Amino acid sequence: MTNSFTAVYKKMGDWYVAYVEELPGANTQGKTLDEARANLREAVQLILETNRQLAEEQDTDKDVLREELTVEA
């Protein structure tokens, strides 16, 4: 599944702070812009994987239906 998000990068002193506007908790930093980009990509992947895993563990009811949802925004 491919998703698109808005990544924001701010130069703060010698570092870059990075976050995703649409995904609370997806934030990181890097010494270079490339490092901040790579760190942010990894943070988003980890958050999405963890959220999916937690949801699956909590919804063990037989009557739960899961399907892919695609949204154009």
Task: Tell me the pTM.
Answer: 0.82
Kindly report, residue by residue over 11-69, the tens digit of the pLDDT.
999 999 999 999 999 999 999 999 999 999 999 999 999 998 998 888 777 788 888 88
Residue 22 to residues 3, 6, 73, Cα–Cα distance (Å): 11, 7, 11
Q: Beta strand 7-12 with 15-20: parallel, antiparallel or unpaired?
A: antiparallel
**1 has a pLDDT exceeding 90:** no
The predicted pLDDT at position 24 comes to: 92
The predicted pLDDT at position 56 comes to: 84
